[in-house]
Amino acid sequence: METNKKPEWLKVRYQSGGERARVEQMLAGLSLNTVCEHASCPNLMECYSRKTATFMILGSICSRNCKFCNVSKGKPVPVDPQEPENVAKAVETLGLKHAVITSVTRDDLPDGGSGHFAEVIKRIRLLNPKVTTEVLIPDFKGELEQLKTVADACPDVINHNVETVPRLYPNVRPMAVYERSLQLLANVKKLNPKILTKSGIMVGLGEKTEEVLEVLRDLRAVDCDLLTIGQYLAPSPEHHKVIEYIRPEVFEYYKTEGEKMGFRHVASGPLVRSSYHADEAIKE
């Protein structure tokens, strides 16, 4: 069911106020990017008003060309050596209890940016010892040593999204490999079983219900703990089009099925994104 009109359940209530402005000003002052801004997240206003944000490190230009993502593609910029310290300061200023850090993919860097991830985790812990950390990482082209660098920094959660069903990878994630993403999640548990693993999938790209359930089974087979499922929303006409707006009851069905499979926490809903209310998932 292809449609261009968003259904009622996808309409976001506008939220304004000084808190959002203060968060934006603080992030700009520290030269920090957020995935909230660069990925055009529909929950931006809510999260900023709650004094939360998902930090996007390693610049704002990605070396990959996924067809669903609004982050800029092209030649990445040099890595900012002050970024780990600035992220830690922002976490302190916002009074966060759970910090989420993601990045653009940096295939151009010898270590894929893994050392920078580790340094961010280290700096957050030094300045904010009680804060839990969650990193949403790229696949590092399957390089185990790069994943080990991140795992050795002992974040509380390592998240890596499979994004869609395998059949749609050539059109949606042409530079990614489904099996490689599953192997990354499996390797986290081999490197440090205490780290919670997390993954997410978008729906509405043309997948079938059984394909979604098969992805969930694949994720549980590699002992993935936490799961997010949300509606794909095309950032622009140039991106992959929305094939279907999935009804809320279908998201509830996926949540129920995921819980039956043994996921520790399942967040499933039209506006759910990878880091939306991420702190709630690790409390359970």
> What are the extents of the domains in the chain?
8-281
* Span 2-13, pLDDT tens digits: 445 788 877 665
- Looking at residue 83, the DSSP 8-state letter turns out to be H
Radius of gyration for the chain, computed over Cα atoms and rounded to the nearest angstrom: 18
Q: Give the predicted TM-score (pTM) of the model.
A: 0.87
Instruction: Please compute the mean of the pLDDT values over residues 249-275 and round it to a whole number.
Output: 95
Calpha distance 90→93 (Å, rounded): 5
The secondary structure element, H or E, covering residue 46 is helix 44-49
Residue 199 phi/psi, 5° resolution? -150, 170
- Share of residues in the chain with pLDDT > 70 (%): 81
Residue 236, pLDDT above cutoff 50: yes
**The pLDDT value given to residue 59:** 83
* 3-class secondary structure, 267: strand
β-sheet bridge partners, residue 73: 62
The CATH class of the 8-281 domain is: alpha beta
The secondary structure element, H or E, covering residue 146 is helix 144-152
Calpha distance 117→135 (Å, rounded): 8
Residue 91, pLDDT above cutoff 80: yes
Q: Residue 38: pLDDT band by 50, 70, 90 thresholds?
A: very low
**The pLDDT value given to residue 89:** 92
Burial, 5: exposed, middle or buried (Cβ in 10 Å; 0-12, 13-18, 19+)? exposed
